[in-house]
Structure 1
Amino acid sequence: MTHHSQPAPVLPGRDARDHHIAWQKAGYPCRVLTPRTQTPGGPPLLVLGGGLQSRHSWTRLEHRVPDRRLLIPDLPPARSPGQTRTHLTWDDLTDAALAAADQLRIDRFAVLAVSSGYPIGYRLAQQHPYRISHLMLFGAAPQPRPHLAALIREGLQREATTTTDASPERRHHAAAQLVKALTNTQAAEKYLLLKAAARVMLAQLTATPHDPLVRYVFDRGSLLLSNALPAGGLTGVPALVGVGEHDTATTVEDNRAVAATIAGCTFLVMKHADHLLHLERDADFAAAVTLFLDNQPLATVAHSAVELLP
C-alpha cells in the first residue's frame, strides 16, 4: 500500500506501462493497463487509491477486471518535507488527476475512488460531470472520525518536530496506530479476512525507513481535517457509494451522508467487510465495480445490501 511497494506483475492479455504525467506543479507516474482486444470494455477506469496506496496496490482488482483499460496514478503528496515545502489542496489534486486523462488523451472515463481518494473523485465529477461516465466512492466521510482526526493532528505535531526517518520500533508503533484507526479490530477477531487484510496493511506500512504516520499526513491525511466533502452536491453522474458494514474509520452513517449529497445515488453496504474492501472481499468488490460500470443491478453481489437514494 505504500509508494515503495514492489511493481505489480504484468497480466496476460494486457499491456502495462508506466506513463510520466507532466502536471504543472509536480510530475508523477501513472500505471496504465490496456487489454489486447478489439472490443472496448467501456470507458477507461481511473482508480484513485487512499492514503499511502500506490499504483501497485491494485493487483487483485487488475486480475478481476480484465476487459477494461485501467489508469492508476501515484498522485503527488499534498505536503512535502524539507526547506521547499509543498502544500497542495483538494482542488490541486483533482487537477492533477485530470491531467492524467488529458495527457493520455482520454475524454470520458469512469472513476473509482476509495478512502482519502474519494474527495478527489467527488470533485472530478462535480467539476467535470460531462467527462465522468460513472462515479464509485468507497469509504467516504464528510469529515474524519474523532479518533482518526486526533491521530492526524499527532502526525502534524510529529512532522514539525522530527524527520520522516524512524527506528523500527517507532515505525511499528506508528503503523499499529494507523491500522487501529483505519480498521475494526473487534470485527477482525470474528472475520479472519478482515484480520488478514489488517496484517497486510501493518506489514506494508512498516516496510520502509520512514515514519508511517508522518507519511500519511504528508500524503493526504492533513487535508482530511477540512473540506473533504465539497459543498454544492452532485447531479448528472451515475454514482455508487459503498461501505463495509464493520467500517469504523468511515462508518455506514458517514458514507450514507456522502451518498445523500448525490442525486440518484446507489448505496451499497457490504456485509462481513471493513474499510479495506478491495482486500477483504476482493471478488465481491470487483463484482460490484463491474456490475455498476455495466449498468447492471448489484443484487447479485454476495452478502450486500443495496438501496437507491432519492
Structure 2
Amino acid sequence: MNTTPTGKLLHHRTEGPATAPPLILGPSLGTSTALWDDVAPELAVTHRVIRWDLPGHGGSPADLIGPGATVGDLADLVLSLAESLGIDRFAYAGVSLGGAVGLHLAVHHPERVASLAVICSSSHFNGRAPWEERAALVRREGLETLAENAPTRWFTPGFTVPALVEDHRTAAPDAYAACCDALAAYDIRDELSSISAPTLLIAGREDPATPPAHLREIADAVTGSTLVELPGASHLAPAERPEAVLTALRAHFAGDAERGVRVRREVLGDAHVDRAQSRTTGFTARFQDFISRYAWGEIWTDPTLTRRERSLITMTALVAHGHYDELAMHVRAARRNGLTPEEIGAVLLQTAVYCGVPAANSAFAVAQRVLAEEDAAES
C-alpha cells in the first residue's frame, strides 16, 4: 500500500452507490472539491464518485507535499487515497493539474486506470520559468493578488464563481507553491503514446492557460482518444459549462455498460436481453446497469479466460447453488460459446462429485430439456 510521509490522506468526498464503479475526480490548482459541484452529483447516479483536494486546498493537509514536489508525488497521494477506500482500479477525470495527475497515472500505473478524461489540461505547462516565478511570488507575498486575478484566468468575461475564488484565496501558500513546483517540472509529452486507457480530452475554446492546441497535442499522441472542444468555456469548464462537461463524461464513462450490453447479447441472445430490458423499472434500473457494467462489461470481457471456459465455470457455480432457472439460460449460452452437448454433460457429471448427486440430477434434467428444445428448433 502506498503511504504518505505524514501518514495523512487527501481530503475527499464520496458520493454514489458503494457497489458502483469508482470514478476519481481531480481539481485544478487553487480550487477545491467545489469545482465539481454541478457535475459530481449527476455522475454519482452510475458511479462511486470520489473528489479530492490538493494539499493545502479545501480540507487537505498542507504538509502532504513540500518544495520540489512533482506531479508523481500527487499521483502517489491519489493512489494512497484509492487504496484506503479499497479501490484497486478506477476511472479518472481531472482538470488542469488534476488532469496532469491523471495522465501520470495512465502512463506510470496503467493497471489502475480503467478510463481517463483530461479536462483543460496539458502534457506540459509552458516550461519551468513561469511556475518558478509564481512559486517564488506566493512564498514571498501569499495568494491575495493571484486570487484577485483568478476570474480572468479561469473564466470567460462576465462569469465567475465566488466560492472557487475564495478557495484560491484561502489555500495554504506553501502548499500552493509546491504545486507550482510540480507544474514547473512536468513534461510527459514523450510518454503519451504509452497510454492504453480509453481517453477523452475536453478543451475550453476560450482557455488562455491550456488552449485547445494543448489538448490536441495529447489527442494526436494517444491512440484512439477523443477530443471535445467546448465553446464559451475557459479554464474551469466543469464550473462554467457543467452540462456540456457532464454530457461528454457520461458518454465516455458509459463505455463499460455499452460493451457489457453487447457481450450480454452475444452470450445470452437478443431475446433474453430484450426481455430483461423491457421489464426494467426505476427500482431495478441500477441493478440492470450494474449487471451490464460489472458482470458483462468487466468480467466476461476479461481476456484471461475464454468464453468457453467462463461457460464451464458458470454452469458449475449455478449447479452448486441450485440456480436452475439461471442454469437453463447458461446451457443455451454454453452452446453459443461453442460447447457441445457432450462437454456440457461432462461438466454436469463433474458437479455430481463436487456439488452432490441430487444437484447434478436436477441439473441434468434442466440441461436435457434445453438441449431438446434447441434440437427441436433446429429441425
> TM-score, normalized by length of structure 1?
0.69
1:234-253 aligned within 5 A: 234-253=194-213
Higher helix content, 1 or 2: 2
| Residues in 2 aligned to 1:210 and 1:94: alpha-carbon distance in whole angstroms | 20
| Residues in 1 aligned to 2:191 and 2:234: alpha-carbon distance in whole angstroms | 29
Aligned to 1:174: 146
1:217 deviation in Å? 2.3
Aligned to 1:197: 160
1:160 deviation in Å? 4.9
Among 39, 56, 80, which residue is 1:61 paired with?
39
Aligned to 1:137: 118
Aligned to 1:111: 92
1:290 deviation in Å? 1.1
| Residues in 2 aligned to 1:48 and 1:114: alpha-carbon distance in whole angstroms | 6
Aligned to 2:325: none
CA RMSD of aligned residues (A): 3.2
Task: Provide structure 1 residue ranges, at least 5 long, that are not aligned to the other structure.
Answer: 1-20, 189-194, 297-310
Structure 1 pair 269–182 and aligned structure 2 pair: CA distance change class (3 A): same
Structure 1 pair 126–196 and aligned structure 2 pair: CA distance change class (3 A): same
Aligned to 2:14: 32
Aligned to 2:221: 261
Q: Say whether the 8 Å CA contact 2:23–2:50 is kept in structure 1.
A: yes
Q: Say whether the 8 Å CA contact 2:100–2:123 is kept in structure 1.
A: no
1:222 maps to amino acid: D
Q: Say whether the 8 Å CA contact 1:48–1:118 is kept in structure 2.
A: yes
2:135 maps to amino acid: L
Q: Say whether the 8 Å CA contact 1:75–1:96 is kept in structure 2.
A: no
Q: Say whether the 8 Å CA contact 2:201–2:225 is kept in structure 1.
A: yes
1:37-186 aligned within 5 A: 40-41=19-20, 43-67=21-45, 68-76=47-55, 85-145=66-126, 150=130, 152-162=131-141, 164=142, 171=144, 173-184=145-156
Aligned to 1:227: 186
1:76 maps to amino acid: P
1:60 is paired with a residue whose SS is coil
Q: State which drifts further: 196-205 or 251-260.
A: 196-205
Number of aligned residue pairs: give it: 248
Q: Say whether the 8 Å CA contact 1:45–1:110 is kept in structure 2.
A: yes
1:197 maps to amino acid: T
Q: Say whether the 8 Å CA contact 2:55–2:62 is kept in structure 1.
A: no
Q: Say whether the 8 Å CA contact 1:229–1:258 is kept in structure 2.
A: no
| Residues in 2 aligned to 1:161 and 1:65: alpha-carbon distance in whole angstroms | 40
Structure 1 pair 178–120 and aligned structure 2 pair: CA distance change class (3 A): same
1:287 maps to amino acid: T
Aligned to 2:3: 23
| Residues in 2 aligned to 1:255 and 1:66: alpha-carbon distance in whole angstroms | 26
| Residues in 1 aligned to 2:85 and 2:236: alpha-carbon distance in whole angstroms | 29
1:259 is paired with a residue whose SS is helix
1:255 deviation in Å? 1.1
> TM-score, normalized by length of structure 2?
0.57
1:156 deviation in Å? 2.6
1:77 deviation in Å? 5.4
1:156 is paired with a residue whose SS is helix
1:145 deviation in Å? 4.6
- What is the percentage of aligned positions where both structures have the same residue? 22
Higher relative contact order (CA 8 A, sep 6+): 1
Task: Provide structure 2 residue ranges, at least 5 long, that are not aligned to the other structure.
Answer: 259-379
Aligned to 2:231: 271
Structure 1 pair 85–291 and aligned structure 2 pair: CA distance change class (3 A): closer
1:131 deviation in Å? 2.3
Structure 1 pair 217–236 and aligned structure 2 pair: CA distance change class (3 A): same
2:160 is paired with a residue whose SS is helix
1:86 deviation in Å? 4.7
Which consecutive aligned stretches of 4+ in structure 1 deviate over 6 angstroms post-superposition?
A: none
1:294 deviation in Å? 0.5
| Residues in 2 aligned to 1:153 and 1:235: alpha-carbon distance in whole angstroms | 28
| Residues in 2 aligned to 1:133 and 1:112: alpha-carbon distance in whole angstroms | 11
Q: Say whether the 8 Å CA contact 2:15–2:50 is kept in structure 1.
A: yes
Q: Say whether the 8 Å CA contact 2:29–2:54 is kept in structure 1.
A: no
